[in-house]
């Protein structure tokens, strides 16, 4: 892979600098636009997102951002994507186990933070969606989330001259289609990158760990890295990490998608990046603190036929070790994205 190593994820090209492949034949929806470069951070693998099908442009990004913060995508105007995906919590729901949706309802799972999505080949904790483009139609139509029909969204958007102009800027004509909406939202969300935590800085030789963090790093490498490996801090597999089934939510994870018994109670291993600001934790937000998550691996493991063999005997830590491990997990926090004004709601 010849990906350039840099932490800057996009370079806004100077006006007049057009996307080179913009005029390729047969690619409708890709007129001359201000191209954005997606730069892979140092040490990251090659992304899986197919940028050739949806090249990033400044205009596409801005349209996606507008839609992400746009109440018109929801039935009563109150539930844009951003109502559950808060920038301050790396685009997860801040401090809520389940997030609020239309008519005082709530989602069935803890809202996943949105970052480094270009490296995922499936979305939702059960992997129900294969692409970002497919995923975004789900919350819009879910009765307990945005509760709107796509047709109504299009009608609302088409009435607004400013929105028509933004679609024209991004895609060449004023035509507002589902596909264009999906592409624009995907351009915005796929640009959410975090790769500048203390961990990354130490890797780059720009910072050094405290003794606590260093001991925590060793504990992490021995006990956690098999499922949450560097540098993404997930292996993207589905595993049963021994959580009890909530009788209220009755959530069997990956099983709901594949229908296979062996997938029962398996959930996608989440990244531990930014984990200090994505509380509460696990698919249903049952744990409030990192300490509680670590203690789960020692005290609460539920035995079952699909429990991951690595956790059969639990993983036990003493109180000093828990402090060290938490210190390391905190070193995975990156405030670059949470403070980036480019992603901030501006209208
Ligand atoms: C009512 C709250 C709510 C709203 C509104 C909402 N989401 Fe979500 N989002 C969630 C929840 C909850 C999940 C986790 C779903 C799961 O794992 O089953 C999620 C998951 C996702 C994921 C998957 C992330 C991953 O890594 O797997 C993406 C992408 C996403 N949302 C984008 C959006 C976009 C784009 C919109 C607007 C069109 C939106 N969401 C609106 C609650 C919401
Ligand atoms: C056998 C694989 C496995 C091992 C080993 C493992 N985890 Fe996990 N971890 C998971 C899975 C799967 C989940 C998601 C469960 C869910 O969503 O319900 C998870 C979730 C978490 C979460 C919650 C993250 C969030 O955003 O909700 C934290 C924190 C965590 N693990 C920390 C650790 C630590 C620390 C260790 C080492 C002591 C560790 N894990 C070892 C598989 C594992």
Could you report the per-residue pLDDT of 85-131, keeping only the tens digit for each?
999 999 999 889 988 899 889 888 999 999 999 999 999 999 999 99
C-alpha of 126 from chain center: 14
Say whether pLDDT at 21 is over 60: no
Q: How far is the CA of 221 from the centre of ligand 2 (A)?
A: 13
Taking the C-alpha atoms of residue 72 and residue 67, their distance in angstroms, rounded to an integer, is 8
**Per-residue confidence (pLDDT) for residue 19, from 0 to 100:** 41
> Which pLDDT belongs to residue 104?
87
Residue 241 CA from chain centroid, whole number = 20
Q: What is the pLDDT of residues 134-184, one digit of tens each?
A: 999 999 999 999 999 999 999 999 999 999 999 999 999 999 999 999 999
Which ligand minimizes its atom distance to the CA of 298?
2
Q: Hey, whose CA ends up nearest to atom 2 of ligand 2? A: 227
Own/partner contacts of 160-168, CB < 8 Å, gap of 24 or more, are 163/66, 166/59, 166/62, 166/63, 166/66, 167/63
Q: Percent of the chain scored above 70 by pLDDT?
A: 90
Report the pLDDT value the prediction gives residue 195, as an integer from 0 to 100.
98
State in Å: Cα 63 to ligand 2 middle. Answer: 35
Q: How confident is the model over 284-311, as a mean pLDDT?
A: 97
The residue behind tokens 């995975």 is: 332
Whole-number Å distance, alpha carbon 191 to ligand 2 midpoint, is 25
Centre of ligand 2 from the C-alpha of residue 215, in Å: 19
Q: What is the mean pLDDT of the chain?
A: 91
Ligand nearest to the CA of 150: 1
What distance in angstroms lies between residue 270's CA and the mean position of ligand 2's atoms?
A: 7
Give the nearest ligand 2 atom to 290 CA. Answer: 29
Buried/exposed code over 14-29 (b: 16+ C-beta within 10 A; e: otherwise): eeeeebeebeeeeeeb
Residues 251/284, Cβ–Cβ less than 8 Å: yes
Q: Which ligand sits nearest to residue 300's alpha carbon?
A: 2
Which ligand is nearest the CA of 289, by number? 2
Q: What is the mean pLDDT of residues 28-42?
A: 80
45 pLDDT more than 90: yes
Q: Which of 97, 270, 280 has the most ligand 2 atoms within 8 A of CB, as the residue to mutate?
A: 270
Q: Whose CA is nearest to atom 39 of ligand 1?
A: 81
* Ligand 2 proximal residues by C-beta, below 6 Å: 125, 223-224, 226-228, 239, 241, 243, 267, 269-270, 272, 275, 278, 281-283, 290, 293-294, 297, 308, 310-311, 315, 325
């Amino acid at each position: 892979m010849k990906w350039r190593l840099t932490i800057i994820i996009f370079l806004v090209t100077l006006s007049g600098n057009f996307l080179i492949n913009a005029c390729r034949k047969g690619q409708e929806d890709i007129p001359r636009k201000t191209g954005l470069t997606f730069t892979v951070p140092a040490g990251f693998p090659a992304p899986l997102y197919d940028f050739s099908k949806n090249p990033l442009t400044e205009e596409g990004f801005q349209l996606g951002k507008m839609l992400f913060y746009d109440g018109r995508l929801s039935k009563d105007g109150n539930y844009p994507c951003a109502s559950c995906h808060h920038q301050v919590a790396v685009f997860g729901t801040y401090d809520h186990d389940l997030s609020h949706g239309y008519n005082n309802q709530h989602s069935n799972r803890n809202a996943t933070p949105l970052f480094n999505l270009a490296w995922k080949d499936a979305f939702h904790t059960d992997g129900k969606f294969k692409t970002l483009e497919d995923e975004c139609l789900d919350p819009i139509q879910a009765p307990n989330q945005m509760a709107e029909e796509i047709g109504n969204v299009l009608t609302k958007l088409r009435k607004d001259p400013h929105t028509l102009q933004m679609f024209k800027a991004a895609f060449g004509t004023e035509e507002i289609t589902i596909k264009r909406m999906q592409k624009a939202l995907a351009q915005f969300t796929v640009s959410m990158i975090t790769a500048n935590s203390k961990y990354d800085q130490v890797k780059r030789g720009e910072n050094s760990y405290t003794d606590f963090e260093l001991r925590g790093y060793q504990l992490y490498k021995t006990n956690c890295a098999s499922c949450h490996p560097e540098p993404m801090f997930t292996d993207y597999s589905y595993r049963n990490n021994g959580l009890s089934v909530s009788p209220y939510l009755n959530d069997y994870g990956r099983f709901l998608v594949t229908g296979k018994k062996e997938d029962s109670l398996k959930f996608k291993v989440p990244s531990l990046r930014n984990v200090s600001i994505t509380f509460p934790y696990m698919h249903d937000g049952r744990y409030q603190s990192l300490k509680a998550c670590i203690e789960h691996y020692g005290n609460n493991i539920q035995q079952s036929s699909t429990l991951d063999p690595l956790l059969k005997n639990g993983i036990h830590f003493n109180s000093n070790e828990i402090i060290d491990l938490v210190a390391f997990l905190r070193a995975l926090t990156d405030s670059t994205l949470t403070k980036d004004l480019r992603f901030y709601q501006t209208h």
